[in-house]
Structure 1
Amino acid sequence: MPEGKKADPGGHSHVSPVVKGFAGSIGGVAEACCLQPMDVIKTRLQLDKAGKYHGIVHCGRTIASEEGVKALWKGLTPFATHLTLKYALRMGSNSIYSGALRDSEGKLTDGRRMLAGFMAGITEALIIVTPFEVVKIRLQQQRGLSKEGLKYKGPIHCAATVLREEGLRGMWSGATPTILRNGTNQMCLFWAKNNTDKFLWDKHEGDGKMLTPGQSMTSGFLAALLGPIATGPFDVAKTRLMAQTKTSGGVRYTGFFDALRRIPAEEGVRAMWKGLLPRLLRIPPGQAIVWAVSDQITGYFEQQALLKASGGLAA
């Protein structure tokens, strides 16, 4: 941070939405490669109505022993692509919404920061998350590794099959709970990350202070704990709706609210938080990785912008 430059608690970032989007996409690639097995386990647990799996470790061991270790990375291609695009859109759109919601002095209240995060979550849910997660979940729920015995041979074949058999709406199965889940998640995330940075490290948006990767990972991890707990029912309903395919007898869940009603009625209230532990083991570490990468990129450009501005003033 240039000498004499004071942190402004209500100040705004000097980094463009494009740079923030790029930083988020790079962080998304790193997260996908590291944490895909936990996402596969989470999906299998959420779809396990017969009680085949007895927890995270048992689920992982069962998948590896029955289908091979490679099965723990099922759906990696759509997952990595999905995260890359999702984080680019999330970080970039949040920057745009935050800029639009600032007051005449460039300040952003906590309430408006949460609104910007919620809007960013809705944007990513509609444009990126829903269709990619439909493909990912359809691939992850399949048993075995031999393509000959699988209905979906890969991401492109899966998308084409869903479109052919279920129409365009099939690619947006579970859109409503996805919107509610992602909107709430990002509302919590951006608010918590900003306030955690201020509380732990005295880092204020736009002040040019560069956090260490360890500091960014700590803030990202803590900020991401709240969302999965708050959105558990949305995520379970989303997974069930995305996994079901149309048959001659129709579908099990007719929609989001039907799923919210039937799942606890048939399986108990705790079923609405199935897969919560693997989500907590995946999402906070994932956000720790994403923010460790993206904060370094945005911090560098933020410092360069401040140095350029101070040089221009001096001139």
Structure 2
Amino acid sequence: MAVKWEWENATAGAVAGFATVAIMHPLDVVRTRFQVNDGRISNLPSYKNTPNAIFTIARSEGLRGLYAGFTPAVIGSSISWGLFFFFYSRAKKRYSGDEEDKLSPGHHLAAAAEAGALVSFFTNPVWVIKTRLQLQNPLHQTRQYSGVYDALRTITKEEGWTALYRGIWPSLLLVSHGAIQFTAYEELRKLLVDFKSEKAKTKDVEVLNSLDYTFLGASSKVAAILFTYPVQVIRSRLQQRPNQDGVPRYADSFHVIKETARFEGLRGFYKGITANLLKNVPASAVTFVVYENVLKVFNLTRKKD
């Protein structure tokens, strides 16, 4: 039964991840382009703000531009959410035995961090390909990737398989993002369940509804973004395609930090955060609403069995 429950968590997470990407992908493209544009790269267009970026991309590149990198985004998000919920539920069960309600914030933090680290190792190549495809635009001087397979083949041929793990260290640091989000989500969820249960004179977790899950998903995401966004900028800049001579624009994370601080200041580490908030706060709300409701369906099915 335990394994079945873990796979139900994975399935719910994968479905939620797919729904999130399908709705919010254009904002992800905008965010990535803002993140890597340090004002010194000639083959990247500049945008005034998020609405201007969406309008400009739609006008010059069409729907294809707004959905650049959509396939790896769908694959990566579905796999990431599925694996995350799978590893997260396993970790919580290992820490709690059969008494999950007694988990402390530290246990939730550890479980989320453990799940995030495992997911990073599995999915980093997908995110490298997604970033490269999203940055392709009409100003590119080098041969563009024709798709996911061509990107994978070209990267491994020209740069070696290790290039698929560029940005892995920031990705591992971004484990804190999931840890912060899930800890905030779990603790807020407990408070909300207790509050609504007390009003309803019951201890049933079913007192929560989709509006509650929307609030929980959105508020926990805001907390995580504010703390970890600079690391996302560092990762995106590391995952760019090398210059025409084959030399990466940034050697490592420290090089990104030094150059960004020198030429752009603190603002450089928060480029694209508006698009990021617009994408991820509603997306997180959608994800958790879908996830919790898919689990409810599984629970009803199990009860009937």
Q: Quickly name the TM-score band, shorter chain normalised.
A: 0.7 to 0.9
The one of 111, 118, 124 equivalent to 2:113 is 118
The one of 64, 67, 70 equivalent to 1:73 is 67
- 1:216 touches 1:292 (CA, 8 Å); kept in 2? yes
The one of 234, 238, 241 equivalent to 1:237 is 234
Deviation at 1:195, TM superposition (A): 1.9
State the match for 2:42 in structure 1: none
The one of 185, 189, 192 equivalent to 1:197 is 189
Deviation at 1:23, TM superposition (A): 0.2
The one of 81, 84, 95 equivalent to 1:90 is 84
Distance 1:247 1:150, change over 3 A: closer
- Amino acid of the structure 2 residue aligned with 1:88: G
Over the matched positions of the two proteins, sequence identity in percent amounts to 26
Counterpart Cα distance in 2 of 1:304 and 1:242:
43
Counterpart Cα distance in 2 of 1:67 and 1:246:
22
TM-score, normalised with respect to structure 2: 0.87
Distance 1:167 1:290, change over 3 A: same
State the match for 2:38 in structure 1: 49
Counterpart Cα distance in 1 of 2:112 and 2:281:
17
Counterpart Cα distance in 1 of 2:268 and 2:220:
25
Distance 1:266 1:101, change over 3 A: same
Deviation at 1:172, TM superposition (A): 0.7
Structure 2: unaligned runs, 5 residues or longer: 40-44, 198-202
State the match for 1:29 in structure 2: 18
Q: How far does the alpha carbon of each residue in 1:68-90 deviate from its partner, in whole angstroms, 9 at most, with x for none?
A: 23311111111111111111001
- 2:38 touches 2:268 (CA, 8 Å); kept in 1? no
Distance 1:149 1:236, change over 3 A: closer
- 1:197 touches 1:219 (CA, 8 Å); kept in 2? yes
The one of 202, 221, 225 equivalent to 2:222 is 225
Counterpart Cα distance in 2 of 1:74 and 1:253:
23
State the match for 2:266 in structure 1: 269
State the match for 1:7 in structure 2: none
Q: Does 1:284 align with 2:285?
A: no
- 1:122 touches 1:179 (CA, 8 Å); kept in 2? yes
- 1:166 touches 1:246 (CA, 8 Å); kept in 2? no
- 2:193 touches 2:207 (CA, 8 Å); kept in 1? no
**3-state SS in 1 of match to 2:239:** helix
Deviation at 1:252, TM superposition (A): 2.6
Distance 1:210 1:154, change over 3 A: farther
- 2:233 touches 2:271 (CA, 8 Å); kept in 1? yes
Deviation at 1:140, TM superposition (A): 0.8
- 2:193 touches 2:205 (CA, 8 Å); kept in 1? no
**3-state SS in 2 of match to 1:209:** helix
- 1:210 touches 1:296 (CA, 8 Å); kept in 2? no
State the match for 1:177 in structure 2: 170
The one of 128, 139, 153 equivalent to 2:133 is 139
- Amino acid of the structure 1 residue aligned with 2:56: T
Q: How far does the alpha carbon of each residue in 1:183-225 deviate from its partner, in whole angstroms, 9 at most, with x for none?
A: 1111111111112222234379x95526322221221111111
TM-score, normalised with respect to structure 1: 0.85
- Amino acid of the structure 2 residue aligned with 1:22: T
**3-state SS in 2 of match to 1:243:** coil
Deviation at 1:116, TM superposition (A): 0.6
- Amino acid of the structure 2 residue aligned with 1:82: G
Deviation at 1:290, TM superposition (A): 0.9
**3-state SS in 1 of match to 2:206:** coil
- 1:21 touches 1:92 (CA, 8 Å); kept in 2? yes
Larger helix share, 1 or 2: 2
- 1:46 touches 1:274 (CA, 8 Å); kept in 2? yes
- 2:27 touches 2:278 (CA, 8 Å); kept in 1? yes
State the match for 1:10 in structure 2: none
Counterpart Cα distance in 1 of 2:3 and 2:122:
27
CA RMSD of aligned residues (A): 2.7
- 2:88 touches 2:114 (CA, 8 Å); kept in 1? yes
**3-state SS in 2 of match to 1:74:** coil
The one of 49, 58, 61 equivalent to 2:52 is 58
Deviation at 1:127, TM superposition (A): 0.6
Deviation at 1:273, TM superposition (A): 1.1
- 2:38 touches 2:260 (CA, 8 Å); kept in 1? no
Q: Does 1:164 align with 2:153?
A: no
- 1:210 touches 1:299 (CA, 8 Å); kept in 2? no
- 1:184 touches 1:231 (CA, 8 Å); kept in 2? yes
- Amino acid of the structure 2 residue aligned with 1:38: L
State the match for 1:9 in structure 2: none
- 1:142 touches 1:150 (CA, 8 Å); kept in 2? no
